Amino acid sequence: MRTQVGIIGSGPSGLLLSQLLHLAGIDNVVLENRSQDYVLGRIRAGVLEMGAVDMLRQAKVHERMDAEGLIHEGVDLVLDGERHRIDFKGLVDGEVMVYGQTEVTRDLMDARAAMGGTCLYEAEATRIEGLEGDAPVIHFRKDGVEQTLTCDFVAGCDGYHGVSRRSMPEDVLRNYERVYPFGWLGVLSDTPPVHHELIYVNSPRGFALCSQRSLTRSRYYLQCSLDDQVGQWSDDAFWEELRRRLPEDAAEALVTGPSIEKSIAPLRSFVAEPMRHGRLFLAGDAAHIVPPTGAKGLNLAASDIHYLFHALKAHFEDGEDSLLDAYSETALRRIWKAERFSWWMTNLMHDFPDEGPFSAKVQRSELEYLFDSEAARRVLAENYVGLPY
């Protein structure tokens, strides 16, 4: 097989790049190790910056998002059971949209199928050769048959465990990582959200987050031990613990029901530099991971694709490679700012029992300063709604 851009991974970043390239007349093929059902079964982010929303509109996959997505103009932060609203609209004239990553992926899958895009599922990319030449080759296995895809460029959108980053020479790649001493226990339920906007809770019992996917589907999280297992948490135990951490009015308003998904995710920060080697370009989780506290994972993937798409478009349409040459540096500038914000939000809202009373006092002081200072709230709002591309 031969194409212009070989894309490894059919998550939102790979499919979004595929769709944008297709609309620009640039041939591409997507290879995905898993099945379509598996990809759609992954429960991930639900908060979109308006930059990501604009990209989905540019990709012409916005109809259902615009009809069903929920615009949020702020969030609540809770300390000592008292809610403090961060007013995005009033502070920075900004907003975000709540629309689940699963729905974004479904919309992109449907668009690629309708336009005849080539997306090969259950096609495992096993190695990449010739990255320093003009025609790299992706070796992949589908239906037990070894095959190859020759292309001009490779976009590695295959996540942390994919083959793309592993294909970069060890003496070129630098990894930066912070692992947090807790996880998030998440529950998805077909219940109305407890509040029309998100609620972030700093509680002596640990962090909690009230999020949502729609007017009838809620997503809730509890800070938990890394030693916890999902089987230890019945639905009743989850709801009881959530009520204990919420402010009184939210606890009383909480509607509970059977979980339709329950999982525990560890938290970490990770960045790989550079994001390019030869004709390979990393994007999304293949290059970086953020703790979900700042709602930046999917949004960072979208900004990577913004930079990469425009760079590839300039190459194929104008023979101009300056954007390709600058891709890694440009993307990393925005990534590190989002990493900083996600790290800060995580440290601001979670319980760190091993760090002692001094750190706890500093955390409280930071929150009190935030609630008292409009300038501090403006910084939070600016980062939460998304820095410009």
> Quick check: 152 pLDDT over 80?
yes
Which of 200, 220, 221, 307 is flagged as catalytic? Answer: 200
Q: How many CB atoms lie within 10 A of CB 323?
A: 17
Cα gap 75→77, rounded to integer Å: 7
Tokens 């690629």 correspond to: 112
Mean pLDDT, the chain, whole residue set: 96
* pLDDT tier at 28, thresholds 50, 70, 90: very high
Q: Does the pLDDT value for residue 45 go beyond 80?
A: no
Asked if the model's pLDDT at residue 222 lies above 90, the reply is yes
Tens of pLDDT, residue by residue over 66-76, are: 999 999 999 99
Indicate if 193 belongs to the active site.
Answer: no
**Residue 292 annotated in active site:** yes
Identify which has the larger pLDDT, 326 or 44.
Answer: 326
Instruction: Say which amino acid occupies 315.
Output: H
The span from the CA of 302 to the CA of 49, in Å, is 9
Would you say 384 and 374 are in contact if contact means Cβ atoms under 8 Å apart? no
Alpha carbons 58 and 309: distance in angstroms, whole number: 12
At 274 the pLDDT is: 98
Q: What distance in Å separates the CA atoms of residue 108 and residue 10, rounded to the nearest whole number?
A: 9
Residues 6+ away with beta carbon under 8 Å from 281? 153, 154, 155, 156, 275, 308, 324, 327, 328
Q: Give the other-Cβ count within 10 Å of 236's Cβ.
A: 9
At 353 the pLDDT is: 84
**pLDDT interval class at 220 (50, 70, 90):** very high
Tell me the pLDDT tens digit for each residue of 155-209: 999 999 999 999 999 999 999 999 999 999 999 999 999 999 999 999 999 999 9
Beta strand segments in 9-122, E: 28-31, 47-49, 70-72, 74-79, 82-87, 96-98, 118-120
Domain 5-70+97-176+268-345 in CATH 1.10.1060.10? no
Average pLDDT over residues 235-256: 97
**What H or E segment, with its residue span, contains residue 84?**
strand 82-87
Cα Rg of the chain, angstroms: 21
Q: Which of 72, 195, 277, 306 is catalytic?
A: 72
Active site residue 38: no
pLDDT bin (cut points 50, 70, 90) of residue 249 is: very high
Nearby residues of 167 by Cβ (< 8 Å), 6 or more positions away = 127, 128, 131, 156, 277, 280
Q: Which amino acid is at 110?
A: D
Other residues' Cβ atoms within 10 Å of the Cβ of residue 321: 12
Average pLDDT for residues 256-262, to the nearest whole number? Answer: 96
Given the candidates 3.40.630.30, 3.30.9.10, 3.10.20.90, 3.40.50.620, the CATH classification of the domain at 180-267+352-385 is 3.30.9.10
Query: Of 198, 243, 200, 184, which Cα lies nearest the Cα of 78?
Result: 200
First and final CA of the chain: distance in angstroms? 34
For residue range 232-244, what is the model confidence (pLDDT) as tens digits? Answer: 999 999 999 999 9
Tell me phi and psi for residue 11, to 5 degrees. -75, -170
The per-residue pLDDT for range 60-107, each reduced to its tens digit, is 999 999 999 999 999 999 999 999 999 999 999 999 999 999 999 999
Give the Å distances, CA to CA, from 53 to 302, 314, 336: 9, 23, 21
The domains of the chain are located at 5-70+97-176+268-345, 180-267+352-385
**pLDDT level of residue 46 (50, 70, 90 thresholds):** confident
Structure confidence at residue 41 (pLDDT): 84
Q: Kindly indicate the confidence band of residue 131, based on its pLDDT and cuts at 50, 70 and 90.
A: very high
Q: What's the confidence (pLDDT) of residue 42?
A: 79
Among the listed residues 277, 288, 296, 315, the single catalytic one is 296
Residue tagged active-site, from 292, 306, 307, 327: 292
Residue range 335-351: mean pLDDT, rounded: 98
Amino acid (one-letter) located at 122: E
| Single-letter code of the amino acid located at 184 | W
> pLDDT above 90 covers what percent of the chain?
97
Q: What pTM value is reported for the model?
A: 0.95
- pLDDT confidence bin for 44, thresholds 50/70/90: confident
| Measured distance CA(34)–CA(121) in Å, rounded | 6
